[in-house]
Amino acid sequence: MTLIIHPEDSTTDFLQPIYSDIKDKSIIKGGMTYEQVKNEIKKHDKIIITGHGIHKGLFSMGMFSNLKEPNFIIDNSLADLLKQKQKIITIWCYAKNYIEANDINNSFHSGMFCSEVAEAIFCGLKRLVTQKMVDESNECFAEELGKLIHLSPKEIFESMKVGEYSKLAKHNPVALYNFERLHYDFKQNIKA
């Protein structure tokens, strides 16, 4: 069974196709304590973690209680547990930094991921970035990863390098920015 941790937040609903076709899954969107989430992580070997975050972890978005570190449902104290897992997929801004700092392998993850126009501008995409470009990037990424989610992190990485998202990146600057920040483990990325 696959555990999905995706705090309820309308701005990250576009990520749902990543895991929507998984048959045997448990989805956590909120309403649990930190310890309950930790216990669920212990029970699963495959884990998908999506939403908003930074290098320190995944934001709780106010959906969880009794947090060990304020504002984070996934934090550094869970890293040792995550290291033991068969497969980890982490899609949040700067997930790579979390993975690298905690020496977690067998993972497919993102670096900074622009999913909103303001983020794209903040990240230096000076060309006119439209909501249509962002939406196109978000939808293509989530749909393609959803089709590949049954593969190993390395196979996902290799498939994404030549897949639909890589084709979109040739003419969509938001997709290009995100595409160049996809990683397998923390040692390899698309640019390498």
Query: Which domains can be identified in the chain, with CATH numbers?
Result: 2-187 (3.40.50)
pLDDT digits (tens, 9 = 90+) for 30-76: 999 999 999 999 999 999 999 999 999 999 999 999 999 999 999 99
- The mean pLDDT value for 151-164 works out to 95
Closest CA to 105 of 187, 19, 163, 189: 187
Q: By the 8 A CB rule, do 104 and 186 touch?
A: yes
pLDDT on residue 190: 52
pLDDT at 186 over 80: no
Which DSSP helix (H) or strand (E) runs through 71? none
> In a 3-state reduction of DSSP, which class is residue 129?
coil
pLDDT digits (tens, 9 = 90+) for 95-147: 999 999 999 988 999 999 999 999 999 999 977 899 999 999 999 999 999 99
pLDDT on residue 128: 83
* Two structure tokens written together for 46: 């495959």
pLDDT on residue 189: 52
pLDDT on residue 192: 38
Contacts of 162 (CB under 8 A, 6+ apart): none
